[in-house]
Structure 1
Amino acid sequence: MIDEAKPLFAQIAEQVEDSIINGTLPELSRAPSTNELSSFYSINPATAAKGVNQLVAKGVLEKRRGIGMFVKEGARTILINEYRTTFSDNFIAPLLSEASRLGLNRDEIIALIAERSQESGTSHSLDQTTAKG
């Protein structure tokens, strides 16, 4: 898990977010406590708390006094929307900029993506994603 380029608290938050997105930590379920996270990752509890607090501020987790932390209803949608925006900013915008520079139109870009997805074996999952929305 350790990525020297990112603070540990951010990595903790991302791990919890990934668990929410992939469904291993469902909405309304109990989330790992600060102590559990600090013990599991062998980090300072204050560092784990900073990651958890980041998720609370984002509206993904909520603290229930005396019971613990829980994944809020709608957390997965919040995270998917955030990741989708980040994906668009980091990948789609530069792709469109480069395509424009090369004089590629929309259909040519789509054809290139379809061709590449077939080569990499991801066309089936992309077709399912496109069909969903």
Structure 2
Amino acid sequence: MKLKELEGRLQQVDVFESPKLLLEQYPTRPHIAGFDIDEDALDIFRTNAEEFELQNVDLVQCDICALPSTILEKSVDTIIMNPPFGTKHNKGMDMTFLKSALQMARTAVYSLHKTSTRNVGFIFISQIFLY
């Protein structure tokens, strides 16, 4: 199933009319939030969201790594990201983004990295979970 189809189906799911808080029946709608420091990147995201007919999408222009970690800790379910690779001018920037993403996500982080940085990333992740 493609993301567009899943998003559409989830938007049609009924929610509890009278949720039972003791059973943690919280009504939630599917939602996507895009964060980027670059307004041009957000414009491209906006165009793609319109093409795929996605609804419930918020775009936020900010430097996610500059926000206090306590604000975003475990604040989203899943993160899909393409961080700066950090191979030219910002060495290690991909690892900074990965660390922030791991603090923010409750369930999963999917991150695109250059082949030359993958081994470092796996070592970094294992160190976080082992210590």
TM-score norm. by structure 2 comes to 0.25
TM-score norm. by structure 1 comes to 0.25
Kindly indicate which of the two structures has a greater share of residues assigned to strand.
2
Q: Who wins on radius of gyration, i.e. which is larger?
A: 1
